[in-house]
Amino acid sequence: MDLVAARERLSQVPDPEIPAVTLMDLGIVRDLRATDAGLEVVLTPTYSGCPATELIADDVRAALAGFGAVTITLQRVPAWSTDWISAAGRVKLQHYGIVPPQCRAEQSIRVVPRLRCPRCDSGATQQLSRFGSTACKSTWRCIDCGEPFEYFKPF
């Protein structure tokens, strides 16, 4: 079993809700290991309310076609945290117009996050809606340049 090749394939699977980032970027893929029959992929879905888990499992199976039987294991403890998003993933989210979540240490200091506009970096932003395109995100707008953007809520 070529785990390196399998990992390479797996690293290219985009998130079904935010195709700009991969499952690996988001930290959803926790482990990849060889089994007697093929591969086992351990996934921790981002939010239990997001209906993307089945899609993600299908995408992972499709990406690993040819590597034998693929077992998907959902690991919900510990729960997924925005802290697991990689540095590369945070940069991609920023380019995509979604403000990457602040780390937990910052959150504990600032109760209400002061978000900066992903386009002009202005700190004059307002929350338009607590929910964006999915329950995982809230919708914001920059007062200076008018750019709407989404914030990936810390969890």
Contact footprint for Zn ion (CB under 5 A): 117, 119-120, 122, 142, 144-145, 147
- Of 114, 98, 4, the closest CA to residue 46 belongs to 98
CB of 12 to Zn ion, least distance (A): 32
Residues in CB range of 144: below 8 A, 6 or more apart? 117, 120, 122, 124
CB of 64 to Zn ion, least distance (A): 41
Listed in sequence order, the DSSP H helices in 3-85 are 3-10, 23-26, 53-63
Q: Which two tokens stand for residue 134?
A: 């999915």
Q: Which two tokens stand for residue 127?
A: 């929350």
Contact present, 68 and 39 (Cβ < 8 Å): yes
Q: Which residues of 113-143 are buried (b: 16+ CB within 10 A; e: fewer)?
A: bebbbbeeeeeebeeeeeebebebbbebbbe
